[in-house]
Amino acid sequence: MSSDRDFDLVVFGATGFTGRLVSQYLARTAGADLRWALAGRSLSRLGAVARDLHRAYGDRAAPALIEADVSRPESLAAMAKRTRVLLTTVGPFARFGEPVVSACVANATDYVDITGEPMFVDRICERYGSQAEDVGIRVVSCCGFDSVPHDLGAWFTVQHLPRDQPIELRAFVSSKGSFSGGTWQSAVQAMGALQEFREQRRTFGRQPATDGRRVGSLPQKIHYEEALDAWAVPLPTIDPQIVLRSARALSEYGPDFRYGHYAKMRSLRTVAAAAAGVASIVALAQLEVTRELLLKVRSSGEGPSRAQRERGWFIVRFHGKAADGTEVVTQVVGGDPGYDETSKMVAESALCLAFDRPREEGPCGVLTPTVAMGNALIQRLQRAGIAFELVRGG
């Protein structure tokens, strides 16, 4: 695809834990003709990442280096101007994300990130939705484990159900994995800003129109799920918000779409332990002094070792039911959710925008992964080893 820009794709945050994995994934898998660059605030640290890539993968698709810092907007503009797609892993996004989106909108550059922070995503929809549409670009947040398997898995499932019927869809998430310092910093800061988030929701909480269709949540309560022989615990992540946004945008979700998002847990004891753990962290994150102590638990830049990641996995099982009695069970299955698969998901999302989905074919604006990329991204992820499977029915 020809372009007057220097690069197809820039990885901003390439010196961070996830950014390095994204860079490795691209160096390992992308064709020699990919024009790409690593970006970050230190050229010497970027050089070290590039040397590691060279040692591991030779000269194949060698990236250029770009110095850019969130605190210097002119450096973000200069970076955004040079690329067709900007992929960013610079988080916490509530703190560092908005200037990067703003630079992309101002310079007509497609954008993908790996945030899972609802406050940031709401703010970006509110402030940049119509500008991104006017400029004709795609701004796509949540292209990592939050929320690609859930959003695209729901989309994959509704395509196996009748289009003209009300649909109830339940997703049950099981996973094993550890987390990085960057994820920990982002989660603690998001929990510390819960009050601010509630206030923002009151101002920004408007939902887009659905052409008369109905879209909403299933009751969110802990219950025993016979079909799974396990407890289903509502998961307070950003994923249901993203799935419902896709359902509001696309008529394929039918006249009345209801979604429930749950963690699958074997025993009530595990449920109680998880709830107590989360409640304690939320409580400690409310006061500056205890929040600072929490932030010291895991530092930015570190994360699970390769051996730990190799033991990671996830399965998201979807149970869909249409009002005419049609039932379907599907699943999305992959390896280490937080890092190996997240880096794959976001890299494939950026490649998908750059090569599979021309802007002119639309839609443009602040979009979910499903609305921006849909089946083109599912195909890429399947080729990359993430399974989207029909288990039963359909």
Binding site residues, ligand NAP, CB under 6 A: 13, 15-19, 40-42, 45, 69-71, 89-93, 96, 114, 116, 144-146, 180-183, 186, 300-301, 303, 338-339, 342
**Quick check: 139 and 132 in contact, CB under 8 A?**
yes
Would you say 248 or 298 has its CB closer to ligand NAP? 298
Q: Which residues of 169-194 are buried (b: 16+ CB within 10 A; e: fewer)?
A: bbbbbbbebbbbbbbbbbbbbbbbbe
Rounded to a whole number of angstroms, the minimum distance from the CB of residue 72 to ligand NAP is 8
Choose between 72 and 311: whose C-beta lies nearer to ligand NAP: 72
- Collect all residues with Cβ–Cβ distance below 8 Å to 123 and sequence separation of at least 6: 98, 200, 204
Q: 254 vs 334, which CB is nearer to ligand NAP?
A: 334
- Give the DSSP H/E element, type plus range, for residue 26: helix 17-29
User: For residues 178 and 217, which CB has a smaller minimum distance to ligand NAP in the complex?
Assistant: 178
Count of C-beta atoms within a 10 Å radius of residue 264: 20
Tell the smallest beta-carbon distance from residue 394 to ligand NAP (Å): 28
Residue 90 CB, nearest approach to ligand NAP (Å): 4
Element (H, E) at 266: none
Is 97 or 374 the residue whose CB approaches ligand NAP more closely? Answer: 97
Q: What are the phi and psi torsion angles at 381 (to 5°)?
A: -65, -40
Q: Map tokens 């110095």 to a residue.
A: 67
Least distance (Å) from ligand NAP to the CB of residue 352?
17
**Which C-beta is closer to ligand NAP: that of 157 or that of 180?**
180
Min separation Cβ 160 and ligand NAP, Å = 26
Least distance CB 350 / ligand NAP (angstroms): 15
Shortest gap between Cβ of 294 and ligand NAP (angstroms)? 14
Q: Which two tokens stand for residue 124?
A: 């970006």
Q: How far is the CB of 14 from ligand NAP (least distance, A)?
A: 7
Whole-number Cα distances in Å, 204 to 137, 196, 207, 216: 22, 12, 9, 17
- In 294-377, DSSP assigns E strands to 313-322, 327-335, 365-367
171 alpha carbon, distance to own chain's centre: 17
**Residue 383: Cβ-neighbour burial (10 angstroms; 0-12, 13-18, 19+):** exposed
What is the nearest approach in angstroms of ligand NAP to the Cβ of residue 87?
11
3-state DSSP assignment of residue 240: helix
Tally: H helices and E strands in the chain = 14, 15
Radius of gyration of the chain (CA): 20
Q: Find the shortest distance in angstroms from Cβ 2 to ligand NAP.
A: 30
The long-range contacts involving 29-34, CB below 8 angstroms and separated by at least 24 positions, are 29/347, 29/384, 30/61, 30/351, 31/61, 32/60, 32/61, 33/61, 34/8, 34/9, 34/61, 34/351
Number of Cβ atoms within 10 Å of the Cβ of 65: 16
